[in-house]
Amino acid sequence: MADAKVTMPDKEALQLQEENLEKKNKLMYPIVITVLILIFAVGFIYGIRLLLNLEGTFPPAVLTEGKTAVPESGEELLAYLNGVVDNAVAEKPALHREWKFRVEDDSIETDGPDALKDTLLFLADPAEDAVSGSVEKIDTAYGEDVSDYLWKPAFAASDIESFTCDYIYYRCKSCGEESAEPVETCGVCGSDYPYQKHYRDDYSFTVTLKNDAGLAARLFTPSTDQVVSMFRPAVEPFAALSDIRSETTALTIRFRVNRLTDQLKELVYHKDVSASAGVLVKDEHLASETAVCSADFTEETVFSFTWPAMELNKHEITLAPGKKDQITAERICDDPKAYAITWTSSDESVVTVDKKGYVKAGKLTGSEPGKATVTASFTFNGKTYSDSCDVTVKVSVEYMQINKHSLKLKTGGTETLTAKVASDNKGFALKKPTVQTVTWYTTDESVASVDENGTVTAVAPGTATVYALSDDGWYRSSCEVTVE
């Protein structure tokens, strides 16, 4: 006799399955939530620790001195200016010369009605354009003789009252804010590290000359009388001018030079003039009699130079072994596409470069980074121009931390700090960096000293910051040391 098999109705079986599933779900919800909370907590704590460890990078400023030292006397300044002008005449860069006339709107005054002053302000802009356009602009091609167009300095050292040279500036290591003067604490990002000293590529000179009528006549063309004659046609359709008087108030020369090559980039002859005249506006509703009006204006002759050159968009790159990057090259000449670029690598076992500037890193063969120089060049007007990019092949440091961020010691006590570097910016050493060394520093040797191994010695009561900089990437991590 066959065994009897007891079965449940299908409806009851489904109901039981649903109840079991509901019980499992009730158990799963708190488990999932607990796991998520733990993940969030661990990630939050790790993130906070990461932020605390990451102080940024602090590369040292490379202060390359200029080809010629900054002149210290009027005689040295004049000799330098004559030298860079002579160089431009000899090398024949492209030259653009333009004369500019500008009225200082804020200086316009009149003893007439306010409507007259408003009219003069309205006329100022078209008058400026008309007068400026009265003097022809000059442009020369590369290799063309510029001696007929470029003014040589027709003054003596004794004509110089003073001069300044601007090329030094200071920059916050943390946020990049710049200042013309040293700054101890950044007011933008709050960093308490002093601004770092930097040099600009150009010397920017401002030379104040004696306000002498003979000097003004020698240096400046057109003359003030010629300017007045050019100004009349621009204004007289609207107003009659009488009793025009003018006085030169300042003579200035500005020039900008690439301090690494002594190539003149800009030369400006600047004259400040104060003028007055009787003005009768040709509008019977505005004024019925002549009013005395005055204004200040400036005259500038600007010489701008463009030198043939090869310019790369990058001058330093770092590549991991086997990786690629592209360097782009700009030919500065009259028809860039007509001149072929030649690319070379100083060591093809380190990096190779193709005809489009694509650079590929080779394999590291030792424990030191690989180094090579990629150069692009072209020949123009019988001269070769080139520019280079230094390429380093290595596994870079992207993270650094030291094991303590605060330390208390008694005078004479010691403790050794340790530093960790990694090739991942989250602190995971997926690959060991090629350069793993760090350099130790202290902000106050009289409070706490530190040796090359990170051993801190308490010298005297006080507070100092001991920090390490990774020798690759200059990542910084600090420890506040309190000596009791």
Domains of the chain, by residue range, sit at 74-238+248-272+298-306, 309-393, 399-483
Helices assigned H by DSSP within 54-139:
74-91, 114-132
309-393 is classed in which CATH architecture?
Answer: Sandwich (2.60)
Core vs surface per residue 108-147: b (16+ CB within 10 A) or e: bebebeeebbebbeebbeebbeebbebbeeeebebbeebe
399-483 has CATH 2.60.40.1080 classification: yes
pLDDT at 119: 81
Q: Which of 274, 249, 282, 286 is nearest to 109 (CA)?
A: 274
Q: How far is 207 from 214, CA to CA, in rounded Å? A: 17
The SS3 call for residue 402 is strand
Quote the pLDDT of residue 2. Answer: 44
β-bridge mates for residue 257, sequence order: 203, 264
Residues 6+ apart with CB under 8 A from 476: 55, 56, 57, 58, 400, 467, 468, 469, 470
Residue 445 tokens read as 């040797």
What are the angstrom distances between the C-alpha of 173 and each of 62, 177, 425, 464?
Answer: 14, 8, 19, 19
- Distance in angstroms (rounded) separating the CA atoms of residues 319 and 352: 12
φ and ψ of 125, to 5 deg: -60, -50
| Domains 309-393 and 399-483 are alike in CATH topology | yes
C-alpha 444 chain-centroid distance: 32
Position 33 scores a pLDDT of 58
Binned average pLDDT, 10 residues per bin, the chain of 484 residues? 47 62 59 54 43 66 93 97 97 96 92 84 86 93 95 94 97 90 90 89 97 92 85 80 91 97 98 91 69 92 97 96 96 95 97 97 90 97 96 93 94 95 74 92 95 96 95 93 95
Whether the CB-CB separation of 343 and 357 falls below 8 Å is answered with yes
CA separation, residue 427 to residues 143, 436, 467, 476 (Å): 56, 13, 18, 14
